[in-house]
């Protein structure tokens, strides 16, 4: 009897241990993560000087002050594995090593992120983590890494659930809190299964800095802002604090028009997507900086309720998106998808707002709200129609407060 009892105790202990490790770090990602990533602008042209200068710019140009915190190094940082299988950074690009770089970033009150892949090789052909998941997680923890973007290249014969769960468990066992960002491109509907695995998951193919296009690269395509937006319509119920639909990194500052950039940033904020800038912070214009640091728009993204916006109304090239906010407030976005300017006259009384997900509604016959347009800073209230001239590919973004 004693032997049987001891066996049960051992089995129970193993089960408890596995359950402890089989968790992501729940304290992270309560609002969508904010930061910067090297890929959109620099691809493989990265080194430690760029990363340090970007951390400097994030601090001195006011981005850190409004909530950006992660400096994320994407693909191509890798060197080779040593004789024990430990991954090492490219010694020419990162001569001081990742631990020293993490220390530099941490000294500024920022956090450092890295990139890896479920396969044996990354998208850029560098060493991936397949077969080295626990070893790599221990290495990242020793370096002081705070964020892992985990890609889906060279994933042949892999189960996405198993592959991403393995790395989640490896991060947890390594013991250092890391935000886990899945980059699986939505191929296997991660919103159905990744809530307990990752803090965010990509929902589409990679972004391209255009308004509404698809660029073929042979075996894959990259897509523009509107193509990504259209793929989010049915996904809002899967998002919330600690588990976000990721619409990919921002292209603000990478060739869109100013109106397109404001629209792009506003839509990512409304849909509670991570706000990860992808431009060269060191040389961005004041106009780009002012978009990326608009505190009121960022507050829409970072609202503590964590409810993703939904498309309430569409007519021609005009769409209206609504997002419930804390304190009985709302955000409303009016989008002009088209290539022509238009004047829009919105009669509040003709639109009853009802959200099945949050169980919130507005009857403008019974309630009135004051509003502020978050880009122009104009204001008014819902007792009179809202009228705006919308340029091509632009938005009006209103925050509504009960009167």
Residues assigned a catalytic role: 151, 206
List the structure tokens of 305: 């309720």
List the structure tokens of 282: 């060191």
Q: How far apart are CA 329 and CA 174, in angstroms?
A: 41
Rg (the chain; Cα; Å)? 23
List the structure tokens of 2: 């004693």
Q: How far apart are CA 116 and CA 129, in angstroms?
A: 6
DSSP symbols for 342-385: EEEEE-GGG--EEETTTTEEE-TTT--EEEEETTT--EEETTS-
Q: How far apart are CA 327 and CA 399, in angstroms?
A: 12
Q: For tokens 């938005």, name the residue.
A: 395
Cross-strand partners of 394: 336
Q: How far is CA 237 from CA 299, 306, 356, in A?
A: 21, 11, 10
Q: Show the CA angle centred on residue 138, arms to residues 133 and 139, nearest 5°.
A: 95
Strands (E), 224-378: 244-246, 275-277, 310-315, 318-324, 330-336, 342-346, 353-355, 360-362, 369-373
Q: How far apart are CA 403 and CA 369, in angstroms?
A: 5
CB 245 within 8 A of CB 238: yes
Q: How far apart are CA 157 and CA 341, in angstroms?
A: 50
Of the candidates 256, 285, 268, the residue with the CA atom closest to the CA atom of residue 33: 268
Q: Show the CA angle centred on residue 300, arms to residues 25 and 351, nearest 5°.
A: 130
């Amino acid at each position: 009897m004693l032997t049987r009892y001891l066996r049960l105790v051992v089995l129970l202990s193993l089960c408890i241990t596995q359950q402890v490790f089989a968790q992501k770090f729940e304290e992270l990602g309560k609002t969508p993560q904010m930061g910067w990533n090297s890929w959109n602008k620099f691809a493989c042209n990265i080194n430690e000087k760029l990363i340090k200068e970007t951390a400097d710019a994030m601090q001195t140009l006011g981005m850190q002050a409004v909530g950006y915190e992660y400096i994320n190094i994407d693909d191509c940082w890798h060197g080779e594995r040593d004789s024990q299988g430990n991954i090492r950074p490219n010694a020419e690009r990162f001569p001081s090593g990742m631990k020293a770089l993490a220390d530099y970033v941490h000294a500024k009150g920022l956090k450092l992120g890295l990139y890896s892949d479920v396969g044996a090789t990354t998208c850029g052909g560098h060493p991936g983590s397949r077969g080295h998941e626990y070893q790599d997680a221990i290495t990242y923890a020793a370096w002081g890494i705070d964020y892992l973007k985990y890609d889906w290249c060279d994933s042949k014969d892999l189960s996405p659930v198993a592959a991403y769960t393995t790395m989640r468990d490896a991060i947890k066992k390594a013991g250092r809190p890391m935000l886990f960002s899945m980059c699986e491109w939505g191929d296997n509907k991660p919103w159905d299964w990744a809530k307990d695995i990752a803090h965010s998951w990509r929902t589409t193919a990679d972004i391209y800095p255009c308004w509404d296009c698809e660029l073929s690269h042979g075996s894959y395509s990259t897509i523009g802002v509107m193509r990504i937006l259209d793929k989010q319509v049915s996904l809002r119920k899967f998002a919330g604090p600690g588990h976000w639909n990721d619409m990919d990194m921002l292209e603000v500052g990478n060739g869109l028009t100013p109106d397109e950039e404001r629209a792009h940033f506003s839509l990512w904020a409304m849909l509670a997507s991570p706000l990860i800038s992808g431009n060269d912070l060191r040389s961005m214009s004041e106009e780009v900086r002012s978009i990326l640091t608009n505190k009121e728009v960022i507050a829409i993204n970072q609202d503590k309720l964590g409810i993703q916006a939904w498309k309430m109304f569409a007519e021609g090239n005009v769409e209206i998106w609504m997002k419930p906010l804390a304190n009985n407030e709302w955000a409303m976005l009016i989008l002009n998808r088209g290539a022509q300017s238009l004047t829009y006259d919105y009669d509040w009384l003709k639109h009853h707002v009802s959200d099945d997900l949050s169980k919130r509604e507005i009857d403008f016959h019974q309630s009135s709200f004051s509003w502020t347009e978050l880009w122009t800073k104009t204001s008014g209230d819902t007792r009179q129609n809202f009228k705006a001239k919308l340029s091509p590919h632009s938005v009006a973004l209103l925050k509504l407060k009960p009167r």
